[in-house]
Amino acid sequence: MITTAAHPEPQALLDDLLLMEHEDPGSRKDGMSTNSYALLGGGDDAEGEALFVDAAFDYLLPSIRDVAERGYRPAGMVLTHRHVLAGNDGMLDDLQAEFGDVTVLLHPVDAAYSVAADPHAVDHPLENIEPLKAAPGVGFIDPVGDPEGRALLARFGVEALHFPGHTGGSVAIYRQRDGLLLPGDAAMGTTVRQAALGLEEVVRPWPFMSVDDARLREGWLGFERPVSNLAPYHGRASYLGRDAEEMREIMRHLTREEPTGAA
């Protein structure tokens, strides 16, 4: 169910993974949820800390406070692609002001994106979204190439994989120990209607929403990590505890040559 309230209550998907399900204008139009996540730290490395994924929306600050009140202070925010920042001016400032030093991770290709320099911008009008510039005291750290970014992710047992296609700097978040994959918008879940009908699949975004759908397909063709738990940014929020055969069926459309989409 899509949460339409401005304060979605974090829901447990796994022992250490919370979902904040909400809507943005685009997903509402398409009948899809927007899914932000919190990874909860455990053990010595990240005890009492949380790593948020794609939660840079001002109306999610109360949800982030909820997580903090459960004993998990925000340590970082991973942005899987630059679209997450569109229209959310000031949220990162507020996050830093309230919780102190919160590391914000965004791939440098997306952090440096300029519509004027994008040859796809005219052909892909929905791509004309520039990331908000980092405010004073809020810098973007590379989750793939910067040792600081990799170290923060490692404290939560995850890594960032550069997964270009939807945007040039898209990343997916992966955890080896339980096959957890947070693909951002490299894969979309089903619409609310499709989920109600029992459809279980993920697809690539419509080609006009991505800078290079063929490159995204190539990424999925070359992806060989085992996946048991899949939680995309848009659409049905999660496919959990699946065996290899089930997950191959759910993910089969990601590699097909024909364009895909949720319609």
Q: Chain-wide mean pLDDT for the chain? A: 87
Residues in the chain: 263
pLDDT band for position 50 (cuts 50, 70, 90): very high
Domains in the chain, CATH or no CATH each: 11-255 (3.60.15.10)
* pLDDT tens-place string over residues 8-21: 899 999 999 999 99
Q: Rounded to an integer, what distance in angstroms lies between the CA atom of residue 98 and that of residue 1?
A: 30
* pLDDT tens-place string over residues 88-122: 668 888 999 999 989 999 999 998 876 555 555 54
Burial zone of 84 (CB within 10 Å; 0-12 exposed, 13-18 middle, 19+ buried): buried
* pLDDT tens-place string over residues 195-240: 788 889 999 999 988 999 999 999 999 999 999 999 999 998 899 9
Q: Rounded to an integer, what distance in angstroms lies between the CA atom of residue 205 and that of residue 203?
A: 6
- Cβ neighbors of 80 (< 8 A, separation 6 or more) are 53, 54, 170, 171, 172, 173, 182, 183, 184, 185, 186, 233
Whole-prediction pTM: 0.89
Residue 132 predicted with pLDDT over 80: no
